[in-house]
Amino acid sequence: MVIVLKQKFEQRQFDNLLKWLEGLNLKTTLVKGEQSAILGLIGDTSVIDIDMVKAIDIVESVRRIQEPFKAANRKFHPHDTVIDVMGCGLLETQTSFVQIGGGNFTVIAGPCSVESREQILDIAAKVKDAGSAMLRGGAFKPRTSPYAFQGLRTEGLEFLYEAKKETGLPIVSEIMNVNHIELFNNVDLIQVGARNMQNFELLKELGRIDKPILLKRGLANTMEELLMSAEYIMSGGNKNIILCERGIRTFETYTRNTLDLSAIPLLKEHTHLPVVVDPSHATGISKLVKPMSLAAAAAGADGLIIEVHNDPAHALCDGAQSLTPEAFAELVGSLNGILQAIGKKEIVPKLG
């Protein structure tokens, strides 16, 4: 970090600044020119609140040289992190184990929302047959309208658990409330949705557990903000984070969001955490899910999370972006061509 000091300052003010910085275990070097003075800081500057420094009387401007995230930073952890997702709450014989990151390509599929026991059991078997490694399904739904279907809540989580016991697929579901963590005991991968990416109290609590977290990028958040949210969870001790690019809001109206494909290689340059892509929420249009999935795989994503519904036309949520089980199976088949071309393991459908 570099601090540019104002042209005139009193020695006493400067000494106070130095004392504060040295108290944070930072080494300081002062370079004094004719017109201005620059203070270079060496050490872990991630502990500094840049706005606090800017507010100091004698400070003209501040520039970060190093990124403000540490635990998530590839500089301090050069190898890819591989996240193990276990089918928790299953008998030993049923236990499934999925790895995300480090050369694996993992597909997660299922409906936007759990709508009934029959619906989730049916779709779970179908996405498994097509090659999905995990089952998604929202039980607590963040809906724009309070009058829209809000999810089956705890009952939805129970149905998901039943689907896991039937298929062996680990399950993914979204948490919205910090007081619900215990309800998610049988959920294998807890999703933090786009709208909660900066719910810092929730992130801090998720840092205290050791369950993997699927952290989705916010609708209007930068990559650095996404990484800082991962940092919130990691600094609490939970290092099991999977990042998800799910489209950001732009001026474009033909699609629900704009899929930021460039985020895949860029995030992977800055962090060792796996990056998966959600082409369903990114586009909002089912026919765009396949081309964007192929593009995401080609751009180096570690996996996909895709909405698949038994009967998209009658889905209670996000039907327009949901694939039929047949379209999903077809997509997995064409993904294999890309995976082969980039040297990743092909997905083997579990049919039969």
Question: Is 138 one of the binding residues for ligand PEP (CB under 6 A)?
Answer: yes
Identified binder of Mn ion from the candidate list 318, 323, 335, 347, rule CB under 5 A: 318
Partner whose binding site includes residue 137, from ligand PEP, Mn ion, none (CB under 5 to 8 Å by kind): none
Shortest Cβ 330–Mn ion spacing (Å): 21
Scanning 34-42, 71-79, 191-199, 323-331 for contacts with ligand PEP by CB under 6 A, the matching segment is 191-199
Rg (the chain; Cα; Å): 23
Identified binder of ligand PEP from the candidate list 157, 194, 206, 242, rule CB under 6 A: 194
Cα–Cα distance, 290 to 171 (Å, whole number): 22
Question: Is 112 one of the binding residues for Mn ion (CB under 5 A)?
Answer: yes
Question: Per DSSP, what are the bridge partners of residue 326?
Answer: none
Question: Is 281 one of the binding residues for ligand PEP (CB under 6 A)?
Answer: yes
Cα–Cα distance, 273 to 146 (Å, whole number): 35
Shortest Cβ 318–Mn ion spacing (Å): 4
Identified binder of ligand PEP from the candidate list 128, 216, 256, 270, rule CB under 6 A: 216
Cα–Cα distance, 109 to 86 (Å, whole number): 16
Cα–Cα distance, 4 to 317 (Å, whole number): 52
Scanning 84-92, 193-201, 231-239, 289-297 for contacts with ligand PEP by CB under 6 A, the matching segment is 193-201
Residue placing its CB nearer to ligand PEP in the complex, 164 or 216:
216
Q: Which of residues 217-276 bind ligand PEP (CB under 6 A)?
A: 246
Shortest Cβ 277–ligand PEP spacing (Å): 11
DSSP per position, 319-336: GGGPBPHHHHHHHHHHHH
Partner whose binding site includes residue 325, from Mn ion, ligand PEP, none (CB under 5 to 8 Å by kind): none
**Would you put residue 43 in left (φ > 0), alpha (ψ -120 to 50) or beta?**
left
Q: Which of residues 236-265 bind Mn ion (CB under 5 A)?
A: none
CB distance 268 to 109 below 8 Å: no
Cα–Cα distance, 158 to 168 (Å, whole number): 15
Identified binder of ligand PEP from the candidate list 4, 75, 76, 142, rule CB under 6 A: 142
**Runs of H (alpha helix) within 246-350:** 263-270, 279-283, 286-298, 325-341
